[in-house]
Amino acid sequence: MKILAIMKKELQSYFYSPIAYIVFASFLLIVGYLFWVVLVTSKLASLEPLFYNASFVLLLASPVLTMRLISEERKSKTMELLLTSPISPVEIVTGKFLACLILYLALIVLTMQYPILLSRYSNAFDMGPVYSGYLGMVLLSSAFISLGLFASSLSENQIISAMISFGGLMLFWIFGWARHAFDNAFGHMLGNLSIFDRYSDFLRGIVDSGNVIFFVVFTFIWLFLATRVLESERWR
Residues in contact with another protein by CB under 8 A are: 1-2, 4-6, 8-9, 12-13, 16-17, 76-88, 233-236
Are the C-beta atoms of residues 115 and 58 closer than 8 Å to each other?
no
Q: Which positions ≥6 away from 179 have C-beta within 8 Å? A: 187, 188, 190, 191
Are the C-beta atoms of residues 69 and 165 closer than 8 Å to each other?
no
Give whichever of 180 and 236 is closer to another protein, judged by the CB atom: 236
Give whichever of 76 and 113 is closer to another protein, judged by the CB atom: 76
Least distance in angstroms from the C-beta of 131 to another protein: 37
Residue type, 192: N
Q: Which positions ≥6 away from 16 have C-beta within 8 Å? A: none
Least distance in angstroms from the C-beta of 228 to another protein: 15
C-beta atoms surrounding 196 within 10 Å: 17
Least distance in angstroms from the C-beta of 74 to another protein: 11
Give whichever of 42 and 76 is closer to another protein, judged by the CB atom: 76
Least distance in angstroms from the C-beta of 45 to another protein: 44
Are the C-beta atoms of residues 67 and 148 closer than 8 Å to each other?
yes
Give whichever of 84 and 123 is closer to another protein, judged by the CB atom: 84
Residue type, 133: G
**CA–CA separation, 142 and 131 (whole Å):** 17
**CA–CA separation, 112 and 80 (whole Å):** 41
Give whichever of 16 and 121 is closer to another protein, judged by the CB atom: 16
Least distance in angstroms from the C-beta of 19 to another protein: 11
